[in-house]
């Protein structure tokens, strides 16, 4: 095996050659770029990032009633309607972007177009929302939303697991790629009501038996590509808590928020 530095130097040394063979292009519009692994400025500005005015429990962006008066940071936290009615299962959501036309295109190309080379960039956008843990602290476990083995076989990869791996490389936690298992194939949850979603997911996601000891007492970051209704993540959180996990936060690349991200 090559020594680490040498491998790195070799990779850096080869970069101009790689760029010559595969000129860096923006994955959204195909325009030329200065270097691999990013977006062009125009497409970057199409991505919608969550702002500062968010729900104190789930970090969902809140509409600002009076745009002249931005909420004061010192103010009591405000809650969205859902969290106001009932506290969420999770302990917070770190979303890289708000789901819109641009983030949708990136996710489609990553997940269904199998452009797994996008994973480092998507994870970099997500990681901006996650704090760095202190070196003397026990890092949180990065656990991806699991795929059913048949789905995994069809797709060839678990998109959330690749994001979790990149987040671990960026120092956001310790990767536990197989903390959860999906025992049941679930249909697409889009269009189903809350009760139907819960029935479809009942017993579908469990902690992996061999990972119970690892999960017990740990803080977890559940990694997902797109956070939609929250039914799947709730099923994952129940399974993680069953295994004794403490604080469970969600990290996703794109979050669907009604009334936001409607630029498409």
Contacts with Zn ion, residue ranges (CB under 5 A)? 26, 28-29, 31, 40, 43, 55, 57-58, 60, 80, 83
By beta-carbon proximity to Zn ion, the closer residue of 168 and 260 is 260
74: tokens are: 């010192």
Q: How far is the CB of 253 from Zn ion (least distance, A)?
A: 17
Q: How far is the CB of 32 from Zn ion (least distance, A)?
A: 10
Q: How far is the CB of 39 from Zn ion (least distance, A)?
A: 6
By beta-carbon proximity to Zn ion, the closer residue of 177 and 254 is 254
Do the bridges between strand 205-207 and strand 180-182 make them parallel or antiparallel, or are there none, so unpaired?
A: antiparallel
By beta-carbon proximity to Zn ion, the closer residue of 29 and 212 is 29
Given its phi and psi angles, is residue 42 left (phi above 0), alpha (psi -120 to 50 degrees) or beta?
Answer: alpha
Q: How far is the CB of 93 from Zn ion (least distance, A)?
A: 8
By beta-carbon proximity to Zn ion, the closer residue of 79 and 164 is 79
Q: How far is the CB of 209 from Zn ion (least distance, A)?
A: 33
Q: Strands, E, within 145-212: which ranges?
A: 174-175, 180-182, 205-207
CA distance 165 to 53: 30
By beta-carbon proximity to Zn ion, the closer residue of 141 and 226 is 226
Maximum Cα–Cα distance for the chain, whole Å?
Answer: 61
CA distance 161 to 146: 8
Cα–Cα–Cα angle for 247, 228, 262, rounded to 5 degrees: 130
């Amino acid at each position: 095996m090559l020594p680490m530095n040498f491998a790195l130097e070799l990779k850096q040394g080869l970069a101009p050659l790689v760029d010559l063979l595969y000129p860096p292009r923006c994955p959204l519009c195909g325009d030329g770029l200065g270097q691999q692994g990013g977006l062009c400025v125009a497409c970057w500005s199409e991505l919608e990032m969550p702002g500062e005015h968010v729900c104190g429990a789930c970090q969902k962006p809140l509409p600002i009633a009076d745009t002249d008066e931005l909420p004061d940071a010192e103010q009591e936290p405000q809650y969205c309607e859902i969290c106001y009615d009932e506290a969420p299962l999770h302990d917070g959501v770190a979303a890289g972007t708000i789901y819109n036309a641009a983030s949708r295109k990136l996710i489609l190309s990553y997940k269904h177009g199998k452009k797994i080379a996008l994973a480092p960039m998507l994870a970099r956008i997500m990681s901006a929302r996650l704090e760095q843990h202190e070196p003397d602290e026990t890092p949180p476990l990065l656990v991806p939303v699991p795929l059913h083995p048949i789905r995994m076989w069809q797709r060839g990869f678990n998109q959330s697991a690749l994001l979790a791996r990149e987040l671990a490389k960026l120092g956001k936690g310790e990767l536990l790629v197989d903390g959860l298992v999906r025992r049941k194939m679930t249909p697409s949850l889009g269009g189903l009501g809350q009760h139907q979603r819960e029935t479809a997911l009942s017993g579908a996601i469990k902690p992996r038996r061999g990972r119970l000891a690892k999960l017990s007492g740990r803080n977890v970051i559940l990694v997902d590509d797109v956070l939609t209704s929250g039914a799947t993540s709730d099923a994952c959180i129940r399974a993680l808590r069953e295994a004794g996990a403490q604080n469970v936060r969600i990290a996703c690349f794109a979050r669907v928020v009604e009334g936001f991200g409607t630029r498409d």
